[in-house]
A and B are shown apart, each in its own frame.
Chain A
């Protein structure tokens, strides 16, 4: 009995221990399992690199998703998928800024104990110097994002002596930074959360750093960059996670971005397990096959973006309003959607603001049946306009990059231009120089094919940045207003709408919708389609998350 009792007791205690261990194990399992994902090398591939590694200058959808893991700003977009990715959270700032002086003064408390990847401590001097550097290196958005900072006008006029006096000041004693604006700006926190407002060491060169990595505070640091071969990112040895929302610790130990090859080769590399992600869209003909054979490796996500063809309003033939409008009437958006992979992957657009952008209104004049949406091209109207413009027979060169889709769009535009009576050709140049090439007025680009993805969810990011007077800098590679349009009336309305956003956001959005419509009357570009993002990922890649701001969140995915 006693023995039996003792046995029962022992058994009971064993069972209890087992249950306890099981419960503990179950509780700890996710944490251990997640820890197991840290490490490994993530391999990315792209057809070409995309310019400078300077976060204050590079303005490409290829490198911004990398800069957010190597550099931080005072604020950051939440590194999360879905709608949460549009939220701005404190990053190097301890908390959201104190906003005073009727929305014109922002005071930030800087986090302490953060180091750059070169081991130097982050200080308020670095923050002040970084804002000055935005102007000293003529950042592409210095005239559009940051021109509202007090002293910015002097910096824009004479970059070399930029001090932003009275605009950005630091107080080392209280570890605070104060930013004064000339007028309230409802989008200012968004602008502080993009890579152009990255904080870099105060002693960073005040010119384009080119291929030389600039130290940052992010979870990764650039180890090397050869635009013709590869870009390597490794863990920042000094990184300690301070905010999982703003800058979480990345899973992979090392990220290797390899440039070269073709989209086809990239697809094969991913299917063979030799790469984890490709930057370029999956070639249209492979999509059909992959959507049947490897659906688990495809991720389709909506984007706030547009593919468009800016027309240079300052040189023939597109210095003629009629010629620009003619092309807008003639372009078959459905045909272009098929170049991108069909209606499952893109939708025709007729406005500058994409459908998911606040302020967007469904309106379309440049179609056979004007109304809310694009329906079909109107070639008769287009031919009439070309005749009226007197530009028939002129030579036009469409400049595209060398990706399959861009070349396909360019070839289609060349056909349309030929149908309209122009002597049209297509010039396809490497993707790593095309975006800057088409910006520089010295290259006399008449029409080009390009894309724009939202930097932040505000209409000014499309209208003011792409068609504002401040974004047009003749002779510069950083002149993102590629149409070269500068309509003073619309420019003033855009500035007023930005100011209105801080007091009456609803009224501001309505005004942006009207500005969009009025800008399209001037037809500085051909809106073509809004694309969906299709990522082909390797079978081993886990925890894929898509941010509407920065697309695939590379640091949040694991490869083991």
Chain B
């Protein structure tokens, strides 16, 4: 369906080519826009590669590294150049104090070395990435869903409903995001709790998903509310109202399609933000709980190995940086494609 805003009078800058493009349908035009952008293609391709790699974590752990990345491997030994080598290596120099995990072997086993528990960092990176992306993705969907409901309800209804919802949004907004997320985490990760008929255990991934999904709702709901209010005052909506079309039909046919583009633009940006938030919470021990791993927990594991085994920290840090960068690059192109006016304005 063509967003109604695009059916309004064309801007003076609209060319014949663009006019033809509009006739092709908005989603096809978006798709073609993305295809035409090398930035979008490269970032989407690399993101897909990351997703596939993380999905193959069990395959890597079982058939390549041959280790269980969730078991302590403090007494484990591997063969390097045919010689059995302990994964946790006792210092033999100086006073002979300390034990250091094995460093990167650049081979199938312990490619990036081991962490303080003697676990394969590369295998944990893949499992951790899967969890980080899952949490960020699910939290993004939850956030967009609730933000859309609240924003549309507030912006379209106005009056008392708008007053209540806007104040609610403002109240949540008043809390610093991380303070709110940490507080919720500390309360929720301590003990199992019931969510309707479901029992959520304290170590479940659902806990960080819910927390991260909720803390950013005001940040998306408010712009959505503003967008809905603007669309609500647009000529085509006024015209529809004048023709006696029912409110719910206007909402479904005219408001929602136009808001959906805003939500789509938000999605990659929000996902990038959620990856960082999840990593931060996990780094602070209030996100993903052991034995699960995420890039944040691996970062935390590596914190105490920064000097002797920096790869344990560098690898998840690099993964977070690259993923967030790719999501932001893709999000930028997506926004430009969905809203050509803003691209021209820049």
Q: Are B290 and A288 in contact (CB under 8 A)?
A: no
Q: Are B304 and A284 in contact (CB under 8 A)?
A: yes
> B304 contacts which of A263, A343, A424 (Cβ < 8 Å)?
A263
A131 to chain B, nearest CB (A): 39
Asked if B254 is at the interface of the complex by the 8 Å CB criterion, the answer is no
Interface residues of A (CB under 8 A from B): 262-264, 283-293, 295, 298, 300, 332, 334-336, 338-339, 341-345, 395, 397, 402, 404, 408, 410-412, 414-416, 418-419, 424-428, 534
B65 to chain A, nearest CB (A): 17
Q: Are A342 and B99 in contact (CB under 8 A)?
A: yes
**A412 CA to B290 CA in the complex, in Å?**
11
Which residue of chain B is the closest to A287 with respect to CB atoms? B98
**A284 CA to B97 CA in the complex, in Å?**
8
> B72 contacts which of A263, A291, A341, A415 (Cβ < 8 Å)?
A415
> Provided the pairs A284-B99, A285-B305, A332-B74 are in contact, do residues A291 and B93 lie with their beta carbons within 8 angstroms?
yes
B298 to chain A, nearest CB (A): 13
Which residue of chain B is the closest to A424 with respect to CB atoms? B291
Contacts of B97 in A (CB 8 A): 287-288, 290-291, 298, 300, 341-342, 344-345, 534
Instruction: Give the size range of B's interface with the partner.
Output: 35 or more
**A418 CA to B90 CA in the complex, in Å?**
27
Asked if B9 is at the interface of the complex by the 8 Å CB criterion, the answer is no
Asked if B309 is at the interface of the complex by the 8 Å CB criterion, the answer is yes
Contacts of B88 in A (CB 8 A): 338
Q: Are B285 and A285 in contact (CB under 8 A)?
A: no
Query: Which 5 pairs, one residue from A and one from B, show the smallest C-beta to C-beta distance?
Result: A287-B98, A288-B98, A292-B94, A291-B95, A335-B74
Contacts of A283 in B (CB 8 A): 304
Q: Are A344 and B117 in contact (CB under 8 A)?
A: no
> Provided the pairs A262-B303, A295-B95, A408-B117 are in contact, do residues A343 and B72 lie with their beta carbons within 8 angstroms?
no
Point out which of A262, A284, A295, A534 has the most chain B C-beta atoms below 10 A from its C-beta: A284
**A217 CA to B72 CA in the complex, in Å?**
49
Q: Are A411 and B117 in contact (CB under 8 A)?
A: yes
B57 to chain A, nearest CB (A): 18
> Provided the pairs A300-B97, A414-B290, A415-B72 are in contact, do residues A289 and B90 lie with their beta carbons within 8 angstroms?
no
Asked if B307 is at the interface of the complex by the 8 Å CB criterion, the answer is yes
> B308 contacts which of A288, A402, A419 (Cβ < 8 Å)?
A288
Contacts of A336 in B (CB 8 A): 74
Asked if B105 is at the interface of the complex by the 8 Å CB criterion, the answer is no
Q: Are B91 and A342 in contact (CB under 8 A)?
A: yes
> A291 contacts which of B71, B75, B91, B307 (Cβ < 8 Å)?
B91
Q: Are A404 and B116 in contact (CB under 8 A)?
A: yes
**A15 CA to B88 CA in the complex, in Å?**
66
Asked if B232 is at the interface of the complex by the 8 Å CB criterion, the answer is no
B1 to chain A, nearest CB (A): 48
Which residue of chain B is the closest to A286 with respect to CB atoms? B307
